[in-house]
Amino acid sequence: MKNIAVIGCTGSIGRQTLDIVRYNPDKYKITGLSCGTHAQELAALSREFSCKKLGIASADKYAELKSLVDGELFCGDDALTAVIDGADTVVVAVVGMIGLKAVLYALKNGKTVALANKESLVAGGGIVTQQLKHGGKIYPVDSEHSAVWQCLQGENDFKRIILTASGGPFYFFDGDLSAVTPEQAVKHPNWSMGKKISVDSATMMNKGLEIIEARWLFNTTDIDYVIHPESIVHSMVEFCDGSVKAQASFPDMRLPIQYALSYPEHAERDYTPLSLPMSLRFLPPDENKFPAPKLAKQAIISGGNSAAVLNAANEAAVKLFLDGKIPFTDIVRIVEHALNTEPKCELKTADDVFGTHNSVYNKIYCKYRGV
């Protein structure tokens, strides 16, 4: 029996993780749950999974949670950390930089992190990977990185990673991108996801963040990407003899989530089989229309705080876009400007990472929020 804590249990990945636990009650036990604001849902999940260690980030919702359920209740930052105690594997499924707190706490305590939060690795990759010295592990939940990880089983070395990208809702769109609305941008053709990641997918910044994520997970800078609109091949790895391994499946996030829980085994699950035969396309990226992945590669080469700057500027710009303050095309423009103008420095501690994040985020958010 594996003890599992889910940080961000009411979001898209969190709910799908709980589906897997429901399907495998003999394999997994939920020992900690936390979320941002959904007190009612958290209380219901606490009863369903007999889980007494509960965290809610919102101080306002803490009293409500207390009135709904008994248990060890935490709020604020403790909701990201204290609920981890007692777990073997921690699914970090919160969106945004706050995930870094949970990841660092889990790794410092030697836990296995099933990582769905990409921002923590993008902004704080150097600091996060240093914490692996305590014996913890990071298992990727992102479908592309899970694919690479699966391709690498039984291998000692590889030459190049080729991430696949669906291209998002606008790869084939030939209208005016500056006029697209948040409603259009969050409609992903193949995956059902939260708002932030859906917008990231529409700008292709999601692929940029994933390139940086791959750099830390697999310790390489030989990372390319290709547009694959069907989202059936989730990524590929090329080896020194020219052999290329790819991992494929019907697009369903429950597969990479479950693999991170069941590794090194492929556990039984109710799945949609690939309906073969089918035709698959692998198309070239258009970096003039979607420059975000290029900016991410630039941030990897620059090192230091560059990826943290890129991530913070993107978080602020996506929020401004979703709030109707800036047009879609300004998102990546704002990120590029931040990357080119913010002073360079090294990030040595988690406080440095949060310092950079907050200063860049607030500067951009305050500049545009009144527009």
Closer by beta carbon to Mg ion, 34 or else 143: 143
Q: Does residue number 142 form part of the binding site for Mg ion (CB under 5 A)? A: yes
Provide, rounded to whole angstroms, the least separation between the CB of residue 63 and Mg ion.
37
- Alpha-carbon span 198 to 184, nearest angstrom: 10
Provide, rounded to whole angstroms, the least separation between the CB of residue 239 and Mg ion.
23
Closer by beta carbon to Mg ion, 165 or else 299: 165
Q: Applying CB under 5 A, what is the total number of residues that bind Mg ion?
A: 3
Tokens of 302: 């620059």
Q: Does residue number 200 form part of the binding site for Mg ion (CB under 5 A)? A: no
Candidates 87-95, 142-150, 318-326, 327-335 — which segment interacts with Mg ion by CB under 5 A?
142-150
Report which of 153, 160, 165, 251 is spatially closest to residue 209, judged by C-alpha positions: 165
Q: Does residue number 342 form part of the binding site for Mg ion (CB under 5 A)? A: no
Rounded to the nearest 10 degrees, the angle between the axes of helix 292-302 and helix 306-322 is: 150
CA distances from 116 to 15, 84, 141, 216, 341 (A): 12, 16, 5, 14, 30
Element (H, E) at 237: strand 233-238
Decide if 339 contacts 309 (C-beta within 8 A).
yes
Decide if 268 contacts 217 (C-beta within 8 A).
no
Distance of alpha carbon 262 from the chain centroid:
19
Provide, rounded to whole angstroms, the least separation between the CB of residue 65 and Mg ion.
31
Candidates 25-33, 54-62, 98-106, 140-148 — which segment interacts with Mg ion by CB under 5 A?
140-148
Length of the chain: 371
Candidates 72-80, 141-149, 259-267, 270-278 — which segment interacts with Mg ion by CB under 5 A?
141-149
Candidates 20-28, 101-109, 137-145, 252-260 — which segment interacts with Mg ion by CB under 5 A?
137-145
Closer by beta carbon to Mg ion, 148 or else 364: 148
Binding site for Mg ion (CB under 5 A): 142-144
